Amino acid sequence: EPEVTQTPSHQVTQMGQEVILRCVPISNHLYFYWYRQILGQKVEFLVSFYNNEISEKSEIFDDQFSVERPDGSNFTLKIRSTKLEDSAMYFCASNSEHNYGYTFGSGTRLTVV
Amino acid sequence: KNEVEQSPQNLTAQEGEFITINCSYSVGISALHWLQQHPGGGIVSLFMLSSGKKKHGRLIATINIQEKHSSLHITASHPRDSAVYICAVPDKLIFGTGTRLQVFP
């Protein structure tokens, strides 16, 4: 069964450093998403991406965040200058139709120290 | 903004019991998703439903669009069903707080 692949599974970074979280969505999917889950809290929407541009973003997704689909297969989330409160599990997801049939990656656990 | 509430927050059961998890939301929707989050953190989509009932194995999901309510049932529960069950509504997916289920042998 096709999978959404996320790398790395764990990342530890120092406060103020840039991190890039990587995702390989399912190849024929058109819509791509990033979500985050702070430990003990619910999953929150960050951003959706379609047709090579951001289609929607939440208030969490400020200027420190950016997304890119650099080569037609990878979908990346960059955090420019990490803060302690960015520590969370970050999930990538994709689907072929908006709001239908989401497939999630297994997540990247980001720890900012 | 749609508010999504789940109950109960935590649920323990003995193997074989019938489980019900409830989800209510504040704004009318076209469909609702049920997801399962494994202890390791991974999220799996279980159902998307827009009306009536769907069944997959021992899992049954129902939705009442007029009452803005959905339920997830697990028949003959098993320890491997232990996970967090989450409902989510469009668009972009707004997640509920999840129900942590533990099934003991």
pLDDT tens digit sequence for A28-50? 899 999 999 999 999 999 999 99
Q: Tell which of B33, B35, B37, B92 to mutate to test the A interface (max A CBs under 10 Å).
A: B92
Using one digit for the tens of pLDDT, what is the confidence trace for A84-108?
999 999 999 999 887 788 999 999 9
pLDDT given for residue A99 in this prediction: 75
Backbone angles phi and psi of B79, in degrees to 5: -50, -30
* pLDDT at residue A30, as a whole number: 92
Is there a contact between B48 and A100 if contact means CB atoms under 8 Å apart? yes
In the structure, what pLDDT confidence band is assigned to residue A71 with cuts at 50, 70 and 90? Answer: confident
**Burial (0-12, 13-18, 19+ Cβ within 10 Å), B31:** middle
Chain B touched by A48 (CB under 8 Å): yes
Is residue B28 scored above 90 in pLDDT? no
pLDDT in tens, B87-99: 999 877 899 999 9
Instruction: Please tell me the distance from the alpha carbon of residue B105 to that of residue B101, in angstroms, as a whole number.
Output: 13
Separation between Cα atoms, residue B95 and residue A102, nearest integer Å: 13
Confidence band, pLDDT 50/70/90 cuts, at residue A76: very high
What pLDDT score was predicted for residue B92?
78
Query: Measured between CB atoms, does A99 come within 8 Å of chain B?
Result: yes
CB of B41 within 8 Å of any CB in chain A? yes
With a pLDDT cut of 90, the percent of chain A lying above it is 87
Is the minimum CB–CB distance between A56 and chain B shorter than 8 Å? Answer: yes
Decide if A103 touches B, using CB distance below 8 A: yes
Count Cα atoms within 13 angstroms, Cβ side, for B58. 12
Q: Report the range of poorest mean pLDDT among A57-61, A101-105, B39-43, B75-79.
A: B39-43
CA dihedral A59, B83, A9, B88 (to 10 degrees): -30
Contact (CB<8Å) A100/B31: yes
For residue A66, list its beta bridge partners: A78
What mean pLDDT comes out for the span A47-66?
Answer: 95
A85 phi and psi angles, rounded to 5 deg = -75, -5
Q: How far apart are CA A66 and CA A62, in angstroms?
A: 8
Question: What's the CA gap between A75 and A62, in Å, rounded?
Answer: 18
pLDDT tens sequence across B30-69: 889 999 998 888 899 999 999 999 999 999 999 998 899 9
Q: Does B100 touch chain A (CB under 8 A)?
A: no
Return d(Cα A31, Cα A99) in angstroms, integer.
9
Contacts of A91 in chain B (CB under 8 A): 43
